[in-house]
Amino acid sequence: MLVKGLPVEVRFTALMVAVCLGFSLIYRLPIRFPASGAGFVGVHYLLPLAGVLLFGLCAMASGRASGMRHFLLALPCYTIVLFVHFHLKLWAPVINPQNHDAFYWSVDQQLRPLVDACFAIRRALFPIVSTDTNLYMIGFILLFYGSFCYHALRTPAHFRTLFLAILFMQGLGALFYLAAPGVGPFLFEPGLNPHITEAQHYMYQVHQQVDAGGAAWLAANEQDYLMTGLGAMPSLHVGSSFVFLWFAIRHGRVLLPTYVPLFGYIVINAIASRWHYLIDLPAGLALAGVSIWLAHRVLRNETRGEKAQEAPRARREGDLVPA
């Protein structure tokens, strides 16, 4: 049972750690820190954490004590949840060896005109964004950094809600990877970015080794491949990008001229790069909606609880004031 009174960030992080430890004990899976050279599709694993650190610097620059308090919670909680996330993603073939790629691919074939449209749009963008440019990842990181910095400085009252939504996306997304695993449509056809295709097949080799070697292989190699887990369902890049877009629509419209085309590109390239099946996208958007709703709900309940605790204290203090 979660300890009442602790910030929701801490409670959710503790829950994710408990889940990770539970799977580790049940399946005898090792928990390792990543090796210094570990990377993920050309983007080092510290980059998302650097975004949280950047928020802390923004909070310091703004001189807001509440912002610093949130930062002191955000950095360790996000670090730990991300650590758990990558473990669960890499462990997926051991925890749930079922594979749903054939079904997901059949959906792509039934809706093939949509897939072809994504390919056509991406090809039309070649003069602007060349075929070997990884704007899919870079654009996501720009949304990440831009949202954290903007809401930390301009709308600090909404930053914690944004952070919680992203924290929930990372944690719950890792659990959904285990529910209905899929590797990705690159198994059936290549995407339009040759560098991404090369990375996908490298990661698939690791996936196969985890599947074949299980806990013994992980015990010997996990630290070198922690960032190479594959998970198509749901699309967390599309879902998380939608979270950033939603907060921009509600609380930072000045960001929209940049965010709308970046979000559109991420959606198109999720398909055109063959990271994702079509069905992964609405699943990611649904998880984003749940994460946003959950973030608002838990903070609203937390505020009500604080007010309920303050009311008796205020009455007691009022009784001590002489008439």
Q: 132 is in which domain, residue-wise?
A: 8-31+40-302
Q: Is residue 321 part of a domain?
A: no
Say how far apart CA 97 and CA 27 lie, in whole Å: 12
Q: Total structural domains in the chain?
A: 1
What pTM, to 2 d.p., does this model score? 0.88
When pLDDT is averaged across residues 97-116 and rounded to a whole number, the result is 97
Domain contains 135? yes
Model confidence at 152, in pLDDT bands (50, 70, 90)? confident
How far apart are the C-alpha atoms of 177 and 99, rounded to whole Å? 11
Q: pLDDT tens digit string along 200-242? A: 999 999 999 999 999 999 999 999 999 899 999 999 999 999 9
Q: Is 168 helix (H, G, I), strand (E, B) or coil?
A: helix
User: For residue 44, is pLDDT > 60?
Assistant: no
CA 28 – CA 42 distance, rounded (Å): 30
Give me the residues paired with residue 78 across strands: none
pLDDT at position 42 over 70: no
Residue 269 sits at φ, ψ, to 5 deg, of -75, -20
pLDDT at 60 (0 to 100)? 64
In a domain, 81, yes or no: yes
In Å, what is the CA distance from 127 to each residue of 9, 136, 222?
44, 16, 40
Residue 286 lies in a domain: yes
Dihedral angle sign, alpha carbons of residues 118, 124, 128, 130:
positive
Residues with Cβ within 8 Å of 39's Cβ and at least 6 positions away in sequence, in order, are 45, 227
Whole-angstrom distance, CA of residue 316 vs CA of residue 174:
47
Residue 48 inside a domain? The answer is yes
Question: β-pairing, 39-40 with 43-44?
Answer: antiparallel
Region of poorest pLDDT, from 42-51, 143-152, 300-309: 42-51
